[in-house]
Structure 1
């Protein structure tokens, strides 16, 4: 990321791609059918600087949905309300450039866990043979944390999608995210390993159903591909600042929940 702008630059996309494709310092936790899950194992030289929240990576081999369709699904906020059962609110706030925007998302957590929300800067890169989306949490002056929700933090979350054929692709999700609140970090780390494959399969199913849905819902409108279609207000990226994972206070809630009752938002 350049010093003069909060917007991700070419180096950020290149580093994210490298993390997605690398196997060094990654421990495989799950390998079944078309899905693998890894957790990053930071080098021992980091000592006490190892983060408490794991970085997790999921790779899915998709044989019946194109890379372009999966990319569209991840961008289409209107469609997300159709396939994501946990979504409470989801909307784009403003555009920052032709390939970057800032948005708001809140989701429903199983009781007794308090519902979460997040404000993220999202940026994307499209080339002839791959798609990359990255996001991270930011502070927006008009969307401060709410008293009825816990403000979660995306340290780094994103997707790398590469076509393997006209109707198939490799789909990789990488995330380091902190749901905040008083949930123990070990619960968060364990839950992400359990839930990430479930979320990936949900997105895959959404991809299978997207072409038919899109044909009935503004089929030619894809502002994430055609910036001239974007009607969001422009916003100066300088009005935003990165939301650090350690800069929010915990909010009291039950910390004795079962692992399967935790939900990883990213």
Structure 2
């Protein structure tokens, strides 16, 4: 999200995000295998801003289940192997909140984290969840973790049938660092497709898991269930990349460890 003040996305913002998810001109396809397609834009060694788009056709998961899985923070802690810590900070409206997420980066890169304003909207039988980085005085950058910037990141889920959907993930991110070539290459050929596969596997197991973990609690569908404190927009400001640490990791060699390629 551009601009100088924190705003909650309106219908035009969601429509713009959807259009960019569907638009392929200006994107370079880097991977197309097993029902997963990956495009990149400006994904080059030494560049500070990266754009990647992934699309997965899921023939065994409903759009509703996919939407629940991407929202359910308790379940994410179980299936997302890259998560270090994630929690909701507070709510803004019935369909917008602020949260923290930190994740493991490939060794020997330093791990990253973000504070984001997340918003979501069902559009007919489709769904959009999107976010952008904000600053909150109570959650400054942590020592040892690089604070990244989500310029705009999110998911679009499109219903294709009763148990059939398409998931598009689009990320426009400044990782605050010059990344090595092997990370740039692997992000589109291995990391992104692997992450999409893990989401699909998580969806297949969600119903059984949810039955044992507060099955009726879905505040993203029923906002009256939320227990989050309200946050005034005045407590937030736009996270400017130039105010954050920028590190050069471009010369780091890849750690010799077995990669998860499921």
TM-score (norm 1): 0.87
Change (3 A) 1:61 1:204: same
Question: 1:6·1:238 contact (CA, 8 Å) conserved in 2?
Answer: no
Report how far residue 183 of structure 1 moved: 2.9
Report how far residue 153 of structure 1 moved: 1.4
**Which of 46, 59, 63 in structure 2 is aligned with 1:63?**
59
Whole-angstrom distance in 1 between the partners of 2:211 and 2:182? 41
Report how far residue 41 of structure 1 moved: 6.5
2:116 alignment counterpart = 120
Change (3 A) 1:182 1:30: closer
Structure 2 regions of 5+ residues with no counterpart? none
- 5 Å-filtered alignment, 1:131-170, equals 131-170=127-166
Whole-angstrom distance in 1 between the partners of 2:124 and 2:36? 25
Whole-angstrom distance in 2 between the partners of 1:89 and 1:151? 14
Question: 2:149·2:173 contact (CA, 8 Å) conserved in 1?
Answer: yes
Change (3 A) 1:97 1:28: same
- 5 Å-filtered alignment, 1:1-266, equals 6-40=7-41, 52-184=48-180, 186=181, 189-194=184-189, 195-251=191-247, 255-258=251-254
Residues 14-48 of structure 1 deviation map (CA, whole Å, 9 limit, x = unaligned): 11000011122122111112011112369xxxxxx
Question: 2:109·2:252 contact (CA, 8 Å) conserved in 1?
Answer: no
Change (3 A) 1:3 1:98: farther
Greater shift after overlay, 156-165 or 19-28?
Answer: 19-28
Change (3 A) 1:52 1:152: closer
In angstroms, what is the RMSD of aligned CA positions?
Answer: 2.4
Question: 2:108·2:255 contact (CA, 8 Å) conserved in 1?
Answer: no
Question: 2:107·2:254 contact (CA, 8 Å) conserved in 1?
Answer: no
Work out the number of aligned pairs and report it.
Answer: 253
Change (3 A) 1:90 1:164: same
Structure 1 regions of 5+ residues with no counterpart? 43-50
Whole-angstrom distance in 2 between the partners of 1:64 and 1:52? 37
Whole-angstrom distance in 1 between the partners of 2:223 and 2:162? 25
